[in-house]
Amino acid sequence: MKYCCLFAVLVVLPAQGQIPRLADGKPDLSGGGVWLPRHVADLAPTSGVPFQPWAKLKFQENNAEQRSEMDLRCLPPGVPRIMLQARPFEIVQTPNRILFVYEGGAHVWRQVWMDGRAHPKDPNPNWLGHSIGRWEGDTLVVDSTGFNDQTWLDDAGHPHTERLHVIEKYTRVDPLTMKYEVTIDDPGAYTQSWTSGSSLSFRPGEKLEEDICLDKLSK
Amino acid sequence: MRARFPLVGLAWLALVPVFAQSPVPANPPLAKDPGPFLPASDFPEDKVPKLAAGPAPHLPDGRPDFGGNGAWYPGFNGNLAETKWKGVKSADKHVDVPFLPWTLKTYNQRVENLSKDDPEARCLPVGVPRFMFDPYPFQMIQTRNQVVFVFEGDNYLWRIVTIDPKGTHPTNLKPTWLGDAVGHYEGDTLVVDVTGFNGLAWLDQAGHATSDKLHLTERYTRTDSLTLKYEVTIDDPEAYSQPWTASNTIHWRPGMELMESICQEDEKSSIHMIGNTKK
């Protein structure tokens, strides 16, 4: 018994800093728990964001409203806002697709195609966009387009247009931590692309709960 | 212990004449199918593509494989207990549903007022087992210890079944639309046990009701590459006098991918749902 436990300690301790990996060597972002994003109310970096004039006015208007009309109607928060609200989600990895399954928002899920396909030429604009992904070393890079212009980028109310192109980078830096970097490229709303970030923490053993936004509306 | 069973059996026999003699009010008849809600040309019966089926696939470890490049499509099945409903094919078999008086009354009201209070029409979650009878495609993604269902319909909904051969639910479950689902594999069948419902979802569009004591046993069997047999046992002692089983045959659509569908984006149906104004 003593030897067994000693052995376990020896094995576990060096593994503390090492992230789990799939059979193909890629980082394992899924399994055995949920990810909890840090709440980031305002995505703007300290240097500010390069607004188009209309977008600055729109931001001020949204910011004064405090709560998006879309939230009041229980519509999906969009990307990247769904990654900036402190609501847990799970990542499910399959060979040709990675799924993000969210407790918060509108009980929705999101799919990232890993099969090398391109974005559709004329996408039907939607709430969560069309996402394709690839690995750059240990970083999952998710490229999304095809959004409608109804969502806010964050709780603060940064607006965007249907030309929004989001590049997200997910890096599991240790078993319990994911670095999240996001680049906003929307020439309709910003004069140049801008980058910000956040972090997510892993909660081993936790599960998603059912939370139906419309339940609260009907009460 | 064994000696008790004959006694229980005898006690039961003694009660039978008492039941037979009590003045039991005759049940009202079942409300009739309201019939096709659209001309057949606008809502044709789901045409299953003619494809050659292969054997049911398996994962490398021998578990049945419910996935692949495609999606499952249940078609519109408006009534779990009828083979035809609103002019199109419905569940696989007719069931004489063992209603309790309140569920029979509720069912009849809902059928007669054309399901005007259907929660699904308000974009609320369609619930279990109804999403196996609704015209929205879905996919099943199997990991080592989960089966993740993702749905195009309703609100781009998901559902996670925890695979646990011990089949235990957490205690003190919070009542929910989709319940707490624990599954295991029995040969080629995925068996899912579900409890912890809020009792608000309808079992089908027709309007079979449940209470929050609902307990479901679902059985998913891929009988060939293109076919998923779905069978669900509805055990709800506060709604039905005994458990009953409904089933549906769900077809595989090769190459089908799920599109984002957000019900409340432009929901304009519910204000028009005023029931049956004809007397």
With beta carbons less than 8 A apart as the criterion, state whether A89 and A208 touch. Answer: yes
Tell me what ipTM this predicted complex has: 0.89
Q: Which two tokens stand for residue A182?
A: 């996001």
Domain that holds residue B237: 64-259
Residue A59 has pLDDT above 90, yes or no: yes
Using a CB-CB cut-off of 8 Å, the residues of chain A touching B160 are 90, 101, 207-208
Using a CB-CB cut-off of 8 Å, the residues of chain B touching A109 are 150, 156-158
Residue B272 has pLDDT above 90, yes or no: no
The verdict on residue B237 lying in a domain is yes
Q: In the block, which residue shows the tokens 């005759």?
A: B26
The verdict on residue B253 lying in a domain is yes
Q: In the block, which residue shows the tokens 């083979």?
A: B83
**Strand, coil or helix: A103:** coil
The verdict on residue B244 lying in a domain is yes
The verdict on residue B230 lying in a domain is yes
Furthest-apart CA pair in chain B: how many Å? Answer: 64
Pairwise CB contact (< 8 Å): A210 & B178: yes
The verdict on residue B58 lying in a domain is no
Distance CA B66, CA B57 (A): 8
Those residues of chain B whose CB sits closer than 8 Å to some CB in chain A are 67, 122-125, 141, 143-146, 148, 150, 155-158, 160, 162, 174, 176-178, 258-260, 262, 264-265
**Strand, coil or helix: A36:** strand
Tens digits of residue pLDDT in B261-270: 999 888 887 8
The runs of H, that is alpha helices, within A131-211 are: none
Using a CB-CB cut-off of 8 Å, the residues of chain A touching B141 are 92, 94, 99
Spell out a b/e string for A9-27, using b for 16 or more CB atoms within 10 Å of the CB, else e. eeeeeeeeeebeeeeeeeb
Distance CA B109, CA B30 (A): 10
Pairwise CB contact (< 8 Å): A73 & B264: yes
Question: Any chain B CB within 8 A of the CB of A132?
Answer: no
Give the pLDDT band of residue A5 (cuts 50, 70, 90).
very low
Q: Number of folded domains in chain B?
A: 1
No. of helices (H) and no. of strands (E), chain A: 4, 9
The verdict on residue B167 lying in a domain is yes
Query: Nearest CA to CA, how far is B254 from chain A (Å)?
Result: 16
Structure-model confidence comparison of residues B155 and A112, the more confident one: A112
Tens digits of residue pLDDT in A175-196: 999 999 999 999 999 999 999 9
Across the range B162-172, mean pLDDT stands at 90
For A70-174, strand residue ranges (E) read: 89-94, 97-102, 109-113, 130-136, 139-145, 165-174
**Strand, coil or helix: B190:** strand
Pairwise CB contact (< 8 Å): A107 & B122: no
Nearest Cα neighbor of A97 from A110, A83, A78, A87 is: A110
Looking at residue B44, what is its pLDDT? 62
Tens digits of residue pLDDT in B187-211: 999 999 999 999 999 999 999 999 9
